[in-house]
Amino acid sequence: MDGNQISPFPTPSLSRYLQSETSMPTLIHSLVEQKSSVLSLAATDKYIFSGSQNEDILVWNKDTFTLKTTLSGHEGSVLALEVAREKDWLFSSSGDSTVRVWSTETLKPLFVLRPYLEDQAGDLFSLVWLPSTQTIFIGCQNTSLQWFSFTSDATLAESSSSLDSTASSPSGTSTPSTLVNTPRPDGSRQAHKFFDSYPIYERRPADLLARNRTPRPGGRGSPDSQYSYEPSPALHFSIPASNVIDPAHYGYIYCMTLLTGTGDGITRLATGSGDEGIKLWKCLPNGPELEYEFTFDRGAVLSMVAKGDTIYAGCQDGYVKVVDLETKTLIRTIIVEEGVDVLSISLLDKDMFTCAANGSVKRWSASFDCVAYWKAHSGIALSSIVTQRGQGFYLVTGGNDSSIKIWDIPPSTRTVSHDLQSPSLFGPTATDVLTFALSKFVSIPSVSSEPSRREDCRQTAIWLRKSLGQLGAHTALLPTGEGNNPLVLATFQGSSVGHRKPRVLFYGHYDVISAPPNGWNSDPFTVTGQNGYLYGRGVTDNKGPILAVACAAADLLTKRALGLDLVMLIEGEEECGSIGFGEAVKKHREAIGEVDAILVSNSTWITDDRPCITYGLRGVVHCNIEISSKLPDLHSGIEGGGVVEPMVDMVKLLASLTNENNQIRIPGFYESVREQTDREKELYDLLSEITHKPASSLVARWREPSLTIHNIEISGPGNATVIPGSVKGQVSLRIVPDQDLQTIITSLTDYLTITYKAFKSPNQIQVTVDHSADWWLGSLDDPWFKALESAVQEEWGEAPLRIREGGSIPSVPWLEKEFGCHALHLPMGQASDQAHLPNERISLINLNKGKAVVERFLAKTADEKFLSSVRD
């Protein structure tokens, strides 16, 4: 059964299933590790930290969902993570019997903490930080509970500058054995009685030479390691025997949680163990003091959280025990899933989330009803946390399928609309309007080239109009002729100012090309987030940039900072040659109004790491050639040699278009091509250094004309013995400044006709040009271009590269001529975005920074000083 469906059969659970859209989370993003289970999670305002089975801690940027860095140092699986917010510290515990402390700001190692008896403590399963006493509690495999106090920052600073082993300890006392500033004399570690043991029949004591641990390639201890025991300097501390309760349980201490806010003002520590019990400890100045013990009979206590006087304990075999501390009683047993271990529990307000060994997550209300159930991981759901982002909350889950899933959690009372006819941009949280709206935009397959998707295109236009209206624009749909997709017109009206408001026209297209499923790693029409990228057809071409511009205008409008009118004109036929676009714009020119500048965002950078501005596009002429004998298809064995074959004529004609140097033979074709300037040459040399591609290659692709033969179609079945009666060919020309479009069209058709006539063939030829677009070249000295360039530099911290594109956007030069103003082209995508290809994607960083660049640009161009410079 699908994990998102509710079973129609009676459930053995004591709770009622009340699942509804209001409680189901939305998968915002996936973070993928490299073949390693996600055993532990923690988060700060900036980062998500994931502890992995392969010994590392991965640090993910919380805003962009990209990998920031990897923290290395442990020699065992990272079993627990804990954040000390007031210290900006991250604690990590491991199967290597160490606790490491990292700075959450610099992401550098600070301390290494070794438990009492060091390796004999075994795996360190759980951590809890108590801010009031600056104490870290550690739950150990050897059943001991240990703790260490970091009570004096001054003492730590003093200790870090000293190499004397008798320096002051963090507890403020002189304890030679507590502070260890250097590795052990052998440069490694003590022998572990299990991991460094010999076969029992050898009757030998454990030592490091047993080599029973399997080091990871390149890791510390491996033959190819370039590191000593510690990869970077860190203070070493050891827990004294006085800070140990052994045994604290009669089983491994798998989990711990703090209880604060109780009536008597005493902070308590709850520990859960493999002995099927929970112990409650008072946190006193001299250490924990046992107050009460709960004993269950439902297997090991594997996970635990607390709120107020209530403890929720996830157990083996699928149970959650709910314990009331005031009465010291078990008040509820929740059957999460019979026989399936509950490995992690998280709380948000009054709701509980349980993660189970079958990969499922369930959401439970304050009355212990299951209100949501979904399959979160393809394997085991091992870890989870709830973290805040903006005004919303995320549930973060980790599994043994090497993935971390980010779930946007709606409050239980919120109603979420998924109706495309009545779209709500304010879905799971209002903080992610851009990405949420994009997920809805992409979900409608607006493929303009497929007749079966014609209604989908119309519904996309309707959805977009309503969505832009929700963002604050005045909207309308403009017809483009019978059978064609409508234009979406949306105007964000700026605040009244003491001078004439400028008007910027943004042009984009909501239609996309087809997306055959072959080659895709996810559904092309479902936005899928992974490692900082959003995948889906149209996310970069051109739905993502459209919404980024709209959200930029909406944000300025909300802050009463939009000082100009932004007119958005979005068509639905761009991928099919902008059918009906020009006529519709002319017809509705009054509704569109006057325009001072045109903004476009419909291409990508030249690399993945340098922002760009596009200032040139080549034009295009698409030509169809048909040669027909007016005879039916013939058998080559019977008629071969007796007829002039159309295919032979076609091959000869196409071959005549270029010479042996691949130069186009059309008379006068190169005469008007603009000469390259010294300024351009310097630019191409710079781009060549950055891209590691020859400058000549960039010149050939961007500023020189070219010819392409696309395909040849034949009549008949296409068998090897058939002479086709007619043959069709498609060719195109890419043209550049200052070639005249109409002159090139005439020259091409004349050349084909005259050349074919010279063949003196009895076959007939027909030449038609079905699509053409002019070249476009922006002005680098235009104030509008400089304002955009400045906005990019301010947002990205570096000057954008000035690039051109070899492709064509027919509407850009046409709009420039129609409105008598300059066009600007701001690419938001990276070079690797796969536009028109499988796995099309866009970076979250680029999408959000693209939005920010547009905000800066609109603010700059509405300024009175800028307008004065334009008028001058």
Residues 513 and 635 in one domain: no
* Farthest CA pair distance, the chain: 109
C-alpha span between 120 and 127 (Å, rounded): 18
Q: What are phi and psi of 520, to 5 degrees?
A: -85, 140
Please say whether the beta carbons of 6 and 373 come within 8 A.
yes
Share of the chain above pLDDT 90, in %: 74
Report the pLDDT averaged over residues 61-87: 95
Question: What average pLDDT score do residues 337-348 get?
Answer: 94
pLDDT at 465 over 50: yes
pTM score of the predicted model: 0.82
pLDDT tens for 782-810 read 999 999 999 999 999 999 999 999 999 99
- Show which of 774, 794, 810 is a domain's final residue: 774
Q: Alpha helix (H) ranges present in 572-645? A: 581-587, 589-592, 636-639
Which pLDDT score is estimated for 565? 96
- Give the pLDDT score at 181: 36
Q: Are residues 612 and 644 in the same domain?
A: no
Q: Which of 507, 504, 441 is nearest to 470 (CA)?
A: 441
- On whether both 630 and 612 belong to a single domain, the answer is no
Taking CA atoms, 632 is separated from 72, 414, 642, 645, 724, in Å, by 74, 68, 14, 12, 8
pLDDT top residue among 496 and 184:
496
User: Same domain, yes or no, for 464 and 544?
Assistant: yes
Q: Does some domain include residue 783?
A: yes
Q: What pLDDT score was predicted for residue 498? A: 65
Same domain flag for 526 and 631: no
> pLDDT tens across 523-558, in order?
999 999 999 999 999 999 999 999 999 999 999 999
In 510-548, DSSP assigns E strands to 528-530, 533-535
Domain-embedded: residue 497: yes
Query: Tell me, what CATH number does 801's domain have?
Result: 3.40.630.10
Average pLDDT over residues 225-230: 37
Q: Are residues 611 and 665 in the same domain?
A: no
3-state secondary structure of 41: strand
**Phi-psi label, residue 617: left if phi above 0, alpha if psi -120 to 50, beta otherwise:** beta
468 & 557 share domain:
yes
535 and 607 housed in the same domain: yes
Upstream peptide bond of 542 is cis (omega within 30 degrees of 0) = yes
- Tens-digit pLDDT profile for residues 813-851: 999 999 999 999 999 999 999 999 999 999 999 999 999
Q: What is the mean pLDDT of residues 67-83?
A: 96
Stretch among 229-238, 313-322, 484-493 having the lowest mean pLDDT: 229-238
DSSP code string of 735-774: E-TT--HHHHHHHHHHHHHHHHHTTT-SSEEEEEEEEEE-
Q: What is the pLDDT, as a whole number, of residue 192? A: 58
Residue 567 contacts by C-beta under 8 Å, 6 or more apart in sequence? Answer: 489, 490, 491, 492, 503, 504, 505, 506, 592, 593, 595
pLDDT digit string, tens, across residues 506-524: 999 999 999 999 999 999 9
How sure is the predictor about 183, in pLDDT bands with cuts at 50, 70 and 90?
very low
Residue 163: is its pLDDT beyond 60?
no
Residue 753 lies in a domain: yes
The CATH number of whichever domain residue 638 belongs to comes to 3.30.70.360
628 and 547 inside one domain:
no
How many CB atoms lie under 10 A from the CB of residue 27? Answer: 16
Residue 596: count other Cβ atoms within 10 Å of its Cβ: 20
Return the percentage of the chain with pLDDT > 70, whole number. Answer: 86
Judge if 562 and 457 occupy the same domain.
yes
CA atoms within 13 A on the CB side of 35: 1
What 3-state class would DSSP assign to 420? Answer: coil
Q: Which of 145-154, 339-348, 417-426 has the lowest mean pLDDT?
A: 417-426
Lowest mean pLDDT among 293-307, 606-620, 791-805: 293-307
The domain boundary residue, chosen from 741, 774, 807: 774
Domain encompassing residue 605? 430-617+777-871
**Amino acid 179: pLDDT:** 45
Quickly state the pLDDT bin for 14 (edges 50, 70, 90).
very low
466 within a domain of the structure (yes/no): yes
Whole-number CA gyration radius for the chain:
34
pLDDT surpasses 60 at 26: yes
650 belongs to a structural domain: yes
When the pLDDT of each residue in the chain is averaged and rounded to a whole number, the result is 87
The total number of structural domains in the chain stands at 2
Residue 683, domain member (yes or no): no
> Are 535 and 657 in the same domain?
no
In angstroms, the CA 860 to CA 852 distance is: 12
CA distances from 127 to 10, 256, 266, 269, 735 (A): 39, 7, 20, 11, 66
Residues 862, 716 share a domain = no
Average the pLDDT over 152-168 and give the result: 39
Q: Is pLDDT at 226 greater than 60 in this prediction?
A: no
Tokens 């003093």 sit on residue = 158
> What pLDDT was estimated at residue 806?
92
Residue 119 has a pLDDT of 74
Note the pLDDT tens digit of each residue in 845-868.
Answer: 999 999 999 999 999 999 878 877
**Stretch 422-433: mean pLDDT:** 51
The predicted model gives 482-493 an average pLDDT of 96
Catalytic residues: 511, 574
pLDDT at 25: 86
The CA-based angle 415-419-422, given to 5 degrees, is 90
Q: Is residue 53 part of a domain?
A: no
- Say what the pLDDT of residue 414 is: 37
Domain finish residue from 751, 774, 797: 774
pLDDT digits (tens, 9 = 90+) for 552-607: 999 999 999 999 999 999 999 999 989 999 999 999 999 999 999 999 999 999 99
Of residues 58, 140, 54, 146, the one with CA closest to residue 102: 58
Looking at residue 312, its pLDDT comes to 96
Q: Which of 840, 832, 855, 809 is nearest to 543 (CA)?
A: 840
Q: What span, in angstroms and rounded, lies between the C-alpha atoms of 376 and 385?
A: 14
Query: Are 529 and 511 in contact, with CB atoms under 8 Å apart?
Result: no
* pLDDT for residue 496: 73
> How is residue 92 written in tokens?
């990590």
pLDDT-based confidence at residue 20 (cuts at 50, 70, 90): low
Residue 597 lies in a domain: yes
Q: How far apart are CA 478 and CA 505, in angstroms?
A: 16
